[in-house]
Structure 1
Amino acid sequence: MPEMTDRRSFHRALLGSALGLTAGAGAGLGGALWPSAVRAQYRVEIAGIGANQLPVAVVAFRGEEQLAQPVAPVLRADLVRSGVFRLIEAPGVMDESSQPVIADWRGRGADALVLGSATRLADGRIDVRYKLWDVVKGEDLGGQSVVVPAADLRLAAHRIADLLQKRLTGEAGVNATRIAYVTKGGGRYQLHIADADGLGDQVGLTSPQPIISPSWSPDGRRLAYVSFERGKAVVMVQNVADGQRRSVAAWRGSNSAPTWSPDGKRLVVTLSRDGPSQLYMLDLDTDGVRRFSFSNAIDTEATFSPDGRWVYFVSDRSGGPQIYRKRADDFSAEGAQAERVTFSGSYNISPSISPDGRWLAYVNRNGGFRTMLMPLDGGGAAQPVGDSTDDESPSFAPNSRLLLYATRAKGRDVLMTSTLDGSVRTPLLITGADVREPAWGPYTP
């Protein structure tokens, strides 16, 4: 795989383990694991407007102006970011007991109306109440009351947004899920966990050496990633709740690009311990390791299909990096068993399969690095998701309706969420940080 000169070349070269890159000797970790949440400097911007969106009005909640975190703005941003809803201007303040004049809201063009309140209780907790109205039918669709600690107010708002999306569309929202990503700045690397809108972030690891390739376990309780703190690439698995972690792949050569099996019992990793970088299956219960790919090329960046039947991966066995797949139970050394998946363009990397198994997202180099989306049923050609040209690491939301990837927008590093058709794109901006390696976590209880 040829050396690259763009700003993300270190990441891409390391995933391939082809160039023998290592980092300097690691120092001790800075800071405690999983400290209390710190508000990141993000701003949500909508870059496109999709068609056939449901018009919804979210009125300011009564009492929220007295809280550090108003509820209605979070709901509005969540609903718009989903790509399913279009906001209708909603002046004034109303609560769940208000009786809206339905004809007025019909006149404004709303199909749905959300009202509510947020009240601080004597013990400091917040009582959040909301009610949903079907404006078209003039029906009260009911609501809910939740009491949460003040620190969980944003999470409560995200969960309400998901409930609203489920009630209005029949499909689950993803606002209460989490994302992971890595930042580089001030001579240090940090692994972050944040809400799906990029706020409420926590720092899980700080190191003077690179951290790359975060990958969520299917239950959302663990993260696998690659750390250079030992002076070489080592695959680590870390508990999200308490920060405890262990090394699972530290053989000679490079250890990189971990990905979880759907049952959470195995990792596929890229190792160069026996020569060229190849894929190996690692059993996390027994620490047993078994070679999975057999080629004279570089095989890396594996990902499982949701049903666990296939492993998709990147290989340059055809002369340039392309995406292939192989049955997950096939440990034969027959190179012909791997099927090539991408044929458009000479350089395709970073495969991601949607949780519903319908889509393949990847990065194509053609005058820049662009996120592409291809149907896996053979029903059409791959199409670019957006118009950016410095993309990396696409990752699907757990409802398969959105993509998260790193790119540049207006001269800054951003994490971008996008609908699959690219009609609604939302940059999550981080001030003064180089942002990379995003991974969208699964649904969790």
Structure 2
Amino acid sequence: MKKPLQDFSPTPSSSFFARRALIAVLAASPAISALAQFRVEVSGVGLTQLPIALVPFKGEDGSPQKISAIVQADLERSGQFRGVDASGQALDETSRPDLSLWRQRTADSLVAGSVTRLADGRYDVRFRLWDVVRGQDLGGQSYTVPQGDLRLASHRIADYVYEKLTGEKGIFSTRIAYVTKGGSRYNLWVADSDGENAQAALASPEPIISPRWSSNGSQLAYVSFESRKPVVYVHNVASGQRRLVANFRGSNSAPAWAPDGNTLAVTLSRDGGSQLYTISSSGGEPRRLTQSNSIDTEPVYSADGSTIYFVSDRGGAPQIYKMSASGGNPTRVTFSGTYNISPSISGDGRWLAYISRVNGGFKLHVMDLQSGNAQAITDTTADERPSFAPNSKLIVYATKLQGREALMTTTLDGKIKARLAGQAGDIREPDWGPFQKQ
């Protein structure tokens, strides 16, 4: 495929739109699910990590999911916690633990629980959290779930623990979307935040790119090349139904949801060069936002919907700009580096993540929007497509390790990273979904 004019992609082996377009909707074979299984590898040491003990849940040896291990992996991946050895102890949510023992093991907190298979095949999952230092019972919860939701129950336990101990909302029960390429087949997946429990949403022999979650997590916007040109669709995650949103002359690409869930910002070349437009998520006539002779693309809304950040080469090379969501004169945001693309804005409005070309490689950077200070937070050189977790504390991004593409999560300072390594197929195009209603 000829490289299109809009290509600001850091990956020379595939075009910008071939990394960002999507697929005919085909039935996904159950056998494909093996492509989406991940192995989480956490590396790095943070400045302050809370030591926590996760006692194996009573009855989890007979459970298809090891609840305590999933909870511990979630907490460690956040960068806020480190596990403490809990071997040799047998506790559940009804136990009154000997907190002096856990103080000796240097644990600041303790989680114990149980998992029981019920007569109807469902599972009863219970847990309790203890503040070891203060000697306080911090409460617990119980969930009655089908086998398929045991991982979700585990993630909700991790969310509870995270919020009780940090005061901030946990993101472990959220979802991510990403794309895999295996051979000549592309698949769009919706998975747990740790990459596990992936469900195939779409499959095609054509490239899949630019999945973007709506603000309520019920829909994904994406670009499809099934008609041999980029076309924007919106896909209902629960039903699998989709609707055509933008299929104008030229290319239709880079969809981004407004927080209201009713509007998309898109890049269209219908009137010549690539420019930014807004369009109803149901389709219709687009409204042009930018009026330039440059390439304007990769829009993303601020959390309050007032501002759109985007990439433009109006200064001679790709840089990140911002403007009012209703249009107007753009203001340049990035000044360090000669090639900056793929903006992502944190939900709290404090941070901009983006990809910058450094010595021929492409590295994930994070900028403090108030001060303008930015720094590279990775050692890799083929990073792409950062996306913030909904609590603004982690970033998921794609990169290349050992010659293969993979997903990573990182803390904003780059000190704690977790590799989400697929068993088969290259992994790309991640987007982190919003908080889920429980």
Contact 1:355 1:398 survives alignment (8 Å): yes
* 1:401 matched to 2:393: yes
CA deviation profile, 1:222-264 (whole Å, cap 9, x unmatched): 0000011111110010000010001100111111000011111
* Residue from 202, 205, 208 that aligns with 2:205: 208
- Counterpart CA distance in 1 for 2:26 and 2:18 is 24
Q: Which residue is equivalent to 1:158?
A: 155
- Counterpart CA distance in 2 for 1:433 and 1:90 is 36
Q: 1:221 to 1:38 in 2, by over 3 A?
A: farther
Give the superposition deviation at 1:206: 0.4
Give the superposition deviation at 1:141: 2.0
- Counterpart CA distance in 2 for 1:301 and 1:320 is 14
* 1:189 matched to 2:186: yes
* Residue from 358, 362, 368 that aligns with 1:375: 368
Give the superposition deviation at 1:29: 4.0
- Counterpart CA distance in 1 for 2:323 and 2:11 is 31
Q: Which residue is equivalent to 2:167?
A: 170
Give the superposition deviation at 1:363: 0.2
* 1:127 matched to 2:135: no
Moved more, 138-147 or 217-226: 138-147
- Counterpart CA distance in 2 for 1:68 and 1:285 is 41
* Residue from 320, 323, 326 that aligns with 2:323: 326
CA deviation profile, 1:154-198 (whole Å, cap 9, x unmatched): 000000100111111111110000000011112111100000000
Moved more, 186-195 or 138-147: 138-147
Contact 1:355 1:399 survives alignment (8 Å): yes
Matched AA of 1:281: T
Moved more, 434-443 or 286-295: 286-295
CA deviation profile, 1:315-363 (whole Å, cap 9, x unmatched): 0011100001111123x5xxxx111110111100000000000100000
Gaps of 5+ in 2: none
Q: 1:34 to 1:265 in 2, by over 3 A?
A: farther
Contact 1:323 1:351 survives alignment (8 Å): yes
What secondary structure, in the 3-state scheme, does the structure 1 residue paired with 2:265 have? strand
What secondary structure, in the 3-state scheme, does the structure 2 residue paired with 1:61 have? coil
Give the superposition deviation at 1:146: 1.2
Q: Which residue is equivalent to 1:69?
A: 65
What secondary structure, in the 3-state scheme, does the structure 2 residue paired with 1:90 have? coil
Give the superposition deviation at 1:410: 3.4
* Residue from 340, 343, 359 that aligns with 1:351: 343
Give the superposition deviation at 1:432: 2.2
Contact 1:38 1:201 survives alignment (8 Å): no
Q: Which residue is equivalent to 1:19?
A: none
* 1:221 matched to 2:225: no
Contact 1:269 1:281 survives alignment (8 Å): yes
Contact 2:6 2:295 survives alignment (8 Å): no
Q: Which residue is equivalent to 1:434?
A: 426
- Counterpart CA distance in 1 for 2:301 and 2:19 is 17
Q: 1:365 to 1:55 in 2, by over 3 A?
A: same
Matched AA of 1:373: V
Matched AA of 2:66: P
- Counterpart CA distance in 1 for 2:414 and 2:283 is 43
Gaps of 5+ in 1: 17-21
What secondary structure, in the 3-state scheme, does the structure 2 residue paired with 1:429 have? strand
Q: Which residue is equivalent to 2:14?
A: 10
* Residue from 135, 138, 141 that aligns with 1:138: 135
Give the superposition deviation at 1:132: 0.8
* Residue from 55, 61, 66 that aligns with 2:51: 55
Q: Percent identity?
A: 55
Give the superposition deviation at 1:8: 5.2
* 1:30 matched to 2:34: no
- Counterpart CA distance in 2 for 1:320 and 1:192 is 33
TM normalised by structure 2 equals 0.94
